[in-house]
Amino acid sequence: MGLLLLFPALAWAGQQLPQGILVDPAEQARIVEHERLGDRWLASRNFDQAIAEYQRAIVLNPAFPSLHEKLGIALTGSGDLKRAVREFSEAVRLAPGNSGARANLGLALLRTGDVKGALQALRAAVQMDPSSPVAHYRVGLALSGNGNVPAASLEFRKALELRPDYPEARNDLGVSLVALGKTDEALGEFRQALKLRPEYPEAHFNLGLALLNRKEYVPALVELREALRLKPDYTEAGNQLGTALVDAGRIPEAVTELRGMIASSPGNAIAHYTLGRAYLKNKQFQEARQEYERAVALRPDFAEAYNNLGVMDAEQGNVDKAFVDFQQALKLDGRNADAHYNLGVVCLLRADTAAALPELQKAVELEPDSARFHARLGVALDRSGDLDGAIREQQAAVRYDPNDTTARYNLARLLLRKGDSQGAAEQFTSLAQIQKSAETREMTSTQVAAALGRGLQAIAGGKTEDAAQAFAEAVRIDPQSAEAHNHLGLALAKLGNTDAAKAQFEKAIALQPLNAAAYNNAGGVLASEGNLDAAIDQMEKALAVDADMAQAHRNLGLLLLKKGDRERAASEFRKATELGLAPGGDKKP
């Protein structure tokens, strides 16, 4: 949550001095002039000049509280929080009833990390002005900084009771609700904040994170990209976008995004780490190692980077180096379940079962619902001679992942050694059923591919009805095939059956949320019906999934042109051309 120091209304010049203070009229005129100049510099965010003018005024009259408060604001803007706290404190001492000075003191203390002092000052400001939504909002910020999220959410709600159109309070209430596990309610607050202020990058970012928590990748990518569009130097949004693309398996796009971020911000350790993850997923070990090493060089306490270095070393057979990497990761973060698991596996590879057991047990303790952790602990217990313990852990692995064929096989083998022939037979039977299902899926996949091939041949020959029948056959064979639904939608659209086509595209998207082609095709059908806004939304989702989809850029450009947005349309046409699509829609030679 961003902390916003709210500047007081710059209307102090000409105010009467505190009673009992006599100032020569000529001197008072000089004070007013220095203050006026300071106000001008402050309004233009030229903090150094503002500081100089306020200091000149204070030399002439150190007992004027508003000058100390304004100097505190200018110092805050320049980043000198320590001196700002002193000036706000002096303003409060001179004018104990000034709630604004107390509030600014509280915010400055909060930014220095003095949460206790900040709360004291901000609560005093609320007591002086309990009907101020800003005062309640600021107390909420302090409580959040203190880790008291439930109390913070109450203050944000109070601020919104007093001022429902308060976008910052809605955004930060949403952040608190996510922390409290109330993601659905948080989504509503973020969206309401964006209704109040559409160009609010932090709210777009937070909405994107909340959507990622729900694994709604496409709308999440849209929000993260919008946050970056509004605030190109928004490092957190860029890092999260890269992470989301890697997690979604969109490795080439992730690499492009992350390289761009690193070019503009070489010291971004998280971007180097995430780029390393992308390279590792692509089996580009040398490139991955370089990025992980850069990440730990920039941030020596980066436990996850050491953990991933260990994974890569282990995959390349360098077990001893991996052992050191995992130990370093755990030295930095002793509750990293993956690092405990990985260190345990490496110990097994080094034939050190005694060292492996406590690491694997700790991994299970930290993540008790991980089938993988239970299965490997079962192997270690078996090697240590604990047959009952090994059976117990393999049973847990099968419980958490019924399709884990290796765990079932190991469990059956252990049960046979235990003398439980019936139990072993049940596991072998289940194993056979799983393998048969896999064979059936493989056969189904072959049949679907054949039907799709017939449909594509029919399309190429101009036989759209035959194509629709072939694609419908593919859907019948495998109703879970997003590709089949997408192709059927295209054929139905060509036949003029737009309602049925839209239903097929919607099904394809539901089955495969990162299907850029289905979004693009759905947008095309909506455009043919004249629903331009909905069509634009679908094209933007297609590009959120695949920013290099030239056809979607061109289609979006055409739609924006129809809406009269020539500037954005031209930008989309340029992108389509850069990606190899000629203005007429054909690929460049």
Per-residue pLDDT of the chain (589 residues; tens, 9 = 90+): 433 344 333 333 334 444 445 557 778 888 889 989 999 998 888 999 999 999 999 998 898 888 999 999 999 889 898 999 999 999 889 888 877 788 888 888 888 888 788 788 888 878 888 888 988 898 888 888 778 899 999 999 999 999 999 999 999 999 999 999 999 999 999 999 999 999 999 999 999 999 998 888 888 998 998 999 899 889 999 999 999 999 888 899 899 989 999 998 999 999 999 999 999 999 899 999 999 999 999 999 999 999 999 999 998 889 999 999 999 999 999 999 999 999 999 999 999 999 999 999 999 999 999 999 999 999 999 999 999 999 999 999 999 999 999 999 999 999 999 999 999 999 999 988 988 887 877 788 888 888 888 988 988 899 999 989 999 999 999 999 999 999 999 999 999 999 999 999 999 999 888 888 999 999 999 999 999 999 999 999 888 888 888 999 999 999 999 999 999 999 999 988 988 876 555 554 4
Query: How far is residue 414 from each of residues 68, 158, 310, 385, measured CA to CA in Å?
Result: 77, 60, 31, 11
In contact, 523 and 539? CB cutoff 8 Å: yes
Query: How far is residue 482 from each of residues 245, 371, 435, 444, 552, measured CA to CA in Å?
Result: 20, 29, 24, 14, 19
Token digits for 69?
């408060």
Query: Alpha helix (H) ranges present in 461-515?
Result: 464-477, 482-494, 498-511
* Neighbour tally for 113: CB within 10 Å: 11
pTM: 0.68
In contact, 552 and 585? CB cutoff 8 Å: no
* Neighbour tally for 441: CB within 10 Å: 12
| Separation of alpha carbons 343 and 336, rounded Å | 11
| The 3-state secondary structure of 112-136, one letter per residue | HCCHHHHHHHHHHHHHHCCCCHHHH
- 310's CB contacts (< 8 A; 6+ apart) are 321, 322, 323, 324, 325, 326, 329, 339, 342, 343, 346
| Separation of alpha carbons 100 and 345, rounded Å | 59
* Neighbour tally for 334: CB within 10 Å: 12
Sort 151 into a burial class: Cβ within 10 Å, 0-12 / 13-18 / 19+. Answer: middle
* Nearest one of 412, 365, 360 to 391, comparing CA atoms: 412
Q: Which residues of 369-384 are buried (b: 16+ CB within 10 A; e: fewer)?
A: ebbbbbbbbbbbbbee
DSSP class of 585: S
Strand partners, 390: none
| Separation of alpha carbons 204 and 185, rounded Å | 16
| Separation of alpha carbons 59 and 71, rounded Å | 12
Of the chain, the end-to-end C-alpha distance in Å amounts to 50
| Architecture of the domain defined by 451-578 | Alpha Horseshoe (1.25)
